[in-house]
Amino acid sequence: MTTTSALILALLFAQSPGPAAESDLAAGLKALDANQPAAAEPLLRKAVAASPSDIQAEFNLALVLGMQGKDAEAVAVYRKALELKPALYEADLNLGIILLRDKQPGDALPPLKEASETKPGEYRSQVFYAQALYDTGDFAQAEQHFRTASGINAKAAAASLGIARSLLKQAKPAESAPYFRAAASLDPAYKNALLELGSEYDKTGQNDQAIAIYREFPQNDAATKRLTALLLETNNALAAIPNLEAEVKRAPSTNNRMALIDAYRQTSQKDKALEQLRLAAAADAGNFDLRMAYGRTLRDQRQFPAAAREFQAAATLRPDSVPALNELAGVLILADQYDDGLAALDRVRALGKEIPGDLYLRAITLDKLHRNKPALEAYQQFLAAAGGEFPDDEFRARQRARIIEHELGK
C-alpha cells in the first residue's frame, strides 16, 4: 500500500477529532507521506488514543506498523479498522498481504476474498487472493483467479507464473509450460521457475522433456548434474561427457572421475578411461576399490606388470582380500612371473579361502614350470573340488593329469 492511498483515506473518512488528535494525525500523515514510518508511528498512536473510532488513524497506524515489519500489531490494528469500516478494500488487502507474508494463508483468505469481491477489476486483489488459494492447496480456484489477474494486467509476470504453478500442481505440466515461458519472457528473473517444470517432468519419467529444460541452465550446477545423470540413464553417455569433463575440471574428486570413467567406457574411449583411473588412483592411493578398478582395467588392456602393481597395492591395503590376491596371482602368471604368482596363491591358501579356480591356476602354473608331482596333485585337487561345474577346464585337467602320470611312470 502506498502513502497516496493513505491520503485518499484521509479525504474519504474525514471526521472531527479534537485539535490535539487532528494535529497528531496530520503530523503522522505528513511523516508517512515522507516515507518515515518510524516517525509517523508515535504520532498515529497518539491520534488513535485520542480518537479510538477514527478510521484514518487506525488504518494508517496499521500501515506504518506493517511497513516496519511489526506484523502482529499491524494485523490487530487492521482488524480493528475493519470493525470500524467493514469491507474497507485497502484494509482487507493489506491485512491479507501481511498474513500471506507471515505464512498464514488460511487466515489471509477471508480478507483477500472480500477485497477481490469489493474490487473485482483490481489486479492486486485478484493476484493476492489467488496466491492465498494456492498456498492453501486450492489449485483449481487459484488458477482461475490468477487468470483473472492476468486478464487485468497481461504484462504481469507473477500472474503468468501463478497460472503455470497452479496447472503444475494439478498434474498438467504440458499445459503449464507456455505460462512458465510467458512469465520468463515478461520478467527474466522468473526464468529459474522453469526448473520446477523440469523437475516435474523428471519425477514423472518424461526424460526428454526434462533434459530439454535442464539444457537451458548450463550455469546451474544442480540442473547440470541432473542433466548429466539423465543422459547417462538414457544411454546417452556421449552427450554427458562434456558436462562430466567440466565437473572433473572443477572438482577432481574420485566420485566425479569415476562417473567420467564410466562414460568413457560406455563410449569405448578406453585410453581416456585408463588415464582418468591413473589420475584418480594417484590422488586417492588409499582407496582399495579404486586400485582394484585400475588394476582390472590395466589387466583387460594386457598391461600385466602395471596391473600387478595395482593389485599388490590393493592387497597391501587389505591383506585378507581374496579377490585382490587372486587378481594379483592371475596377472603375475600372465606376465610369466610364475613364482610370484604361486606365492600369491599361497597367501589365499593360508587364508583358507581357495576356490576351484585357484587350484586350477596353481596346477597349470606348476605344469608350466615342469614341477610334475605338485602339478599332478593340484590337478587332482581341482578335479575333486570342481564337481562338474567347469567342464572345459576339467577336461583339460584330466588330459594333463594322465600325461603327467605317464611321465612320472604311474
Question: DSSP letter string over 183-217?
Answer: HHHH-GGGGGGHHHHHHHHHHTT-HHHHHHHHTT-
The confidence score (pLDDT) of residue 221 equals 87
Helical packing angle, 19-33 and 3-12, nearest 10°: 150
Look at residue 375 and tell me if it is in a domain: yes
The confidence score (pLDDT) of residue 172 equals 96
The confidence score (pLDDT) of residue 407 equals 87
Look at residue 391 and tell me if it is in a domain: yes
For residue 206, CA distances in Å to 117, 173, 197, 332 come to 40, 10, 11, 49
Domain count, the chain: 1
Look at residue 377 and tell me if it is in a domain: yes
Look at residue 367 and tell me if it is in a domain: yes
Q: Record the pTM.
A: 0.69
The sign one gets for the Cα dihedral 377, 379, 384, 386 is: positive
Mean pLDDT by 10 residues, the chain (410 residues): 36 46 85 93 94 93 95 96 95 96 97 96 97 98 98 97 98 96 96 96 94 92 91 90 90 90 90 92 92 93 94 95 95 94 94 92 92 92 90 92 85
**Cα distance between residue 273 and residue 277, in whole Å:** 6
Q: Left if phi > 0, otherwise alpha if psi is -120 to 50, otherwise beta: which for 355? A: beta
The confidence score (pLDDT) of residue 335 equals 93
Q: Which residues contact 76 (CB under 8 A, 6 or more apart)?
A: none
Look at residue 166 and tell me if it is in a domain: no
Look at residue 366 and tell me if it is in a domain: yes
In which domain, by residue range, is 407 found? 355-410
| Closest of 99, 98, 132 to residue 116, by C-alpha | 132
Look at residue 4 and tell me if it is in a domain: no
Q: How many residues does the chain have?
A: 410
| Closest of 172, 228, 166, 173 to residue 195, by C-alpha | 173
pLDDT in tens, 343-365: 999 999 999 999 999 999 999 99
The confidence score (pLDDT) of residue 162 equals 98
Look at residue 263 and tell me if it is in a domain: no
The confidence score (pLDDT) of residue 205 equals 94
pLDDT in tens, 58-108: 999 999 999 999 999 999 999 999 999 999 999 999 999 999 999 999 999
Specify whether the CB–CB gap between 108 and 71 falls below 8 A: no
